[in-house]
Amino acid sequence: MRPSRGWFELSGVACHQIRCSSLPPDTTDTTTHRRARRAPLFPMFLLFLLRNVLFFLLVPFSLVSTTYLYYYPLFHGCGFPTPGSSIFSNAFVRTVLSHTPLSPAVPATSPFRLLAVGDPQLEGSSSLDPTAASLTNFHAFFGTLNSTESLLQRTRTALHANIDFWLDDLPRLARYGIKRLDLWGNDLYLAHVYRTVRWWSRPTHVTVLGDLLGSQWIDDEEFEWRSDRFWSRVFPDHEKISDDLIHTTMPPIAVADGGQEPRSQPFHTIGEDAKTWSTRLMNVPGNHDIGYAGDLTLERASRFERAFGRLNYALEFRLPSDPESQQQAPTLRVVVLNNMNLDTPVYAPTLQTDTYNFINTLVGSSYPVEHSGVFTVLLTHIPLHKVHGVCSDGPLFDFHESGENGSFPHGIREQNHLSDAASRGVLESIFGKSSSPVQPGGGRGRKGIVLTGHDHEGCDVYHFINQTSPDPKWEAHRWPAAQAQGIPTDPSLPGLREVTVRSVMGDFSGNLGLMSLWLDDVGEWQSGFSNCRAVRAWVWWVVHVVDCIALAVAALWGAVEFYASSAGPNGSKRRVNRVARAGIRAASMRSRSADRSDMGNSSGSDTSTLSSGQKKSLRRKRSKQSMRGDLGAGRRQLSDVLEVPE
């Protein structure tokens, strides 16, 4: 006979509600029941708090901010400028399509795309307190233990050392640690900005416009450490321009690497070896790399060339030639010029002579100004001369009063722009501009653009000279204003655009410049420039700190969830259900055994004299006795398992 469901229903109530109030007190341990009823309130509250903080605060903020930080060029609409008026000519649309399966269908209209990095200025240990980690007062405190002075004097010394440890040593150590962390984070920030924009915009060439490092006064060991960080952290998998790639240069200041000679082939073909060219950095020397004219020494110039490439050189690129055309393919000249010593007085006259000799060699090997298929890109550090108010930095010259720090007495200590004479020399020699309309090409000179650094705020101007003026002088207007006035298209106003690229440093929002070149309908080069700003460095820090906090909270939430599920009511409920199911199976087996016993007893005893009603009553009585025994056993088993650990 099968047992009644009453016991199972009772055990189910006990299992699911973790209480045994239905059980008689003689078979239940009341202390155990109180432990079972007591829920783990603190873990449950902590679990509730962590879950809400994680899913309603940290996770949404982390997802949104991290997505923005790593895809900010998409949200800022960054892209290399392109020509035309169709939808494919829109710089942003073209860049987006280049990351989709539609990329092969988008025509490539800008064969030369230059990513310009301005003034990264990697800092180093010179900004750290070298004595911060020595903890002098800490060691002085324990040094009093071995002192031979009197007890009073040792006590006084130990007391002062202890106070100075807390008020001087620890704050300096904290500042030291924070600065070390800041240097590490700054390298990663610069690497993130460059890596993100490079992935998004897909440049063909890259340049760093000077001030690669943060100081020209550092020793060789510090210089090597910063140079290693430059190549390993900020620009990993990149390389400098080697001598065998250069077309026009002067003899190296230091011994050339591997005995390489300047390139004998007259040009590079744009598009060939494109992947490798996108990882070659055209590095421009800046004042924080080699110094201004008054402190530019042979040693500083030599170590820069060893680590980052030549001070002065030129590269020549051509588009693939048309076999059916007799004309020379459109040509592009990229000139890297060290203009730190164009002005005087200088520390090393030989280096200044090298710079001017390079300019003369460059001019002598230039194409005629009438050749419309040639474009010159000048990469240098100090901007050309401008009057006050045009850009953030106005003209400034400062000179050394004496030979401090090994500088030249009365040599140039600092300058914001080139002098008016040096700027005029660059424009009229390298680019062939002239105030006289009777000069070749009407004095309009060669087409080109100048990219500079130095002014961290950045600036975009157009330099021009009025040929109709009785006293023609070079002037500079902001590029938007010059365009609005039609100055660049006026044949009587020969000129040139100069873009001072805003710094990539975190205080200037991690800006990068994007310059592209393309051919118009008549086969002449045209240029375009745009900026792509990231976020300030502190935003980069906040996003990554919040990401780390979110991961930590998620790990803590998982640990608390595991503890609550194993030690809380749910864990007890699972154990109760397991034992209850075992009791059910045992009771069922005993019931079947009792039925078989009843059948045997009934067959062996004399029940022939009993009526059918009496027989049914006897079987019902025996069944109830068996059920009461099974119920008592089940109660005892439940009482044993309802011991929830503290």
Q: What one-character DSSP code corresponds to residue 122?
A: B
In the structure, what pLDDT confidence band is assigned to residue 555 with cuts at 50, 70 and 90? confident
Encode pLDDT of 231-244 as tens digits. Answer: 999 999 999 999 98
Residue 268 has pLDDT above 70, yes or no: yes
pLDDT at 6 over 50: no
- pLDDT higher at 187 or 109: 187
Specify the pLDDT at position 36. Answer: 46
Confidence band, pLDDT 50/70/90 cuts, at residue 324: confident
- Quick one: pLDDT band at residue 378, thresholds 50, 70, 90? very high
Per the listing, tokens 């600092």 go with: 414
Lowest mean pLDDT among 13-22, 512-521, 579-588, 633-642: 13-22
Closest alpha carbon to 236 in 184, 187, 201: 187
The per-residue pLDDT for 372 is: 85
Helix (H) or strand (E) holding 241: none
Q: pTM for the whole thing?
A: 0.77
**Mean pLDDT for all residues in the chain:** 81
- Is a pLDDT exceeding 50 seen at residue 487? yes
Omega before 470 cis (within 30°)? no
Section 528-550 average pLDDT? 95
Are 304 and 241 contacting, i.e. CB atoms less than 8 angstroms apart?
no
pLDDT beyond 60 at 618: yes
Give dist(CA 424, CA 261) in Å, integer.
32
pLDDT for 628 beyond 80: no
Q: For 451-474, write each residue's pLDDT tens digit.
A: 999 999 999 999 999 999 999 999
In this predicted structure, what is the pLDDT of residue 575? Answer: 54
> For position 49, what pLDDT does the model report?
77
User: Which residues, 6 or more positions from 501, have their beta carbon under 8 angstroms from its beta carbon?
Assistant: 116, 117, 118, 209, 451, 452, 453, 458, 511, 512, 513, 531
pLDDT > 70 fraction of the chain, expressed in percent and rounded:
74
The CA-atom distances, in angstroms, between 439 and each of 171, 395, 442, 444 are: 68, 30, 5, 8
**pLDDT tens sequence across 115-154:** 999 999 999 877 677 677 777 777 676 777 677 677 777 7
> Given a cut of 60, is residue 572 above it in pLDDT?
no
Task: Name the phi and psi angles at 464, rounded to 5.
Answer: -150, 165
Model confidence pLDDT, tens digit, residues 146-196: 776 777 777 777 787 778 777 887 888 888 888 889 999 999 999 999 999
Structure tokens at 100: 């989709």
pLDDT tens, residue by residue, 406-443: 666 778 999 999 999 999 999 999 999 999 998 988 99
Tokens 């100090």 found at: 382
pLDDT of residue 149: 74
Query: What is the reported pLDDT for 411?
Result: 86
Nearest to 303 by CA among 380, 408, 212: 212
| pLDDT at residue 13 in the model | 42
21 band by pLDDT with thresholds 50, 70 and 90 = very low
> How much is the pLDDT for 489?
93
Mean pLDDT value across residues 25-34: 48
Q: Tens of pLDDT along 282-321?
A: 999 999 999 999 999 999 999 999 999 999 999 999 998 8
Contact 484, 144 (CB under 8 A): no
CATH architecture type of domain 82-124+180-534? 4-Layer Sandwich (3.60)
Instruction: Report whether pLDDT(106) > 60.
Output: no
Predicted confidence (pLDDT) at residue 246 exceeds the cutoff of 50 = yes
* Residue pointed to by tokens 């020793």: 219
Residue 362: what pLDDT? 92
Reported as a pLDDT band with limits 50, 70 and 90, residue 586 is low
Per cent of the chain over pLDDT 90 is 50
Model confidence pLDDT, tens digit, residues 203-213: 999 999 999 99
Q: Strand 112-117 to strand 512-519: parallel, antiparallel, or no bridges (unpaired)? A: antiparallel
User: pLDDT at position 402, please?
Assistant: 72
Per residue in 38-82, pLDDT (tens digit) is 445 556 667 777 778 778 888 899 999 999 999 999 999 999 998
Q: How confident is the model at residue 83 (pLDDT cuts 50, 70, 90)?
A: confident
Domain range list for the chain? 82-124+180-534
Which DSSP letter does residue 492 get? T
* pLDDT computed for residue 206 by the predictor: 98
pLDDT of residue 578: 60
Residue, of 240 and 326, whose pLDDT is higher: 240
Average pLDDT over residues 585-600: 61
Asked if residues 285 and 334 have their Cβ atoms less than 8 Å apart, the reply is no
Name the band, by pLDDT with cuts 50, 70 and 90, for residue 28: very low
Q: Which residues contact 567 (CB under 8 A, 6 or more apart)?
A: 40, 43, 644, 645
Between 191-205, 359-373, 505-519, the lowest mean confidence (pLDDT) is in: 359-373
Cα(132)–Cα(52) distance, rounded to whole angstroms?
Answer: 42
Does residue 342 carry a pLDDT above 90?
yes
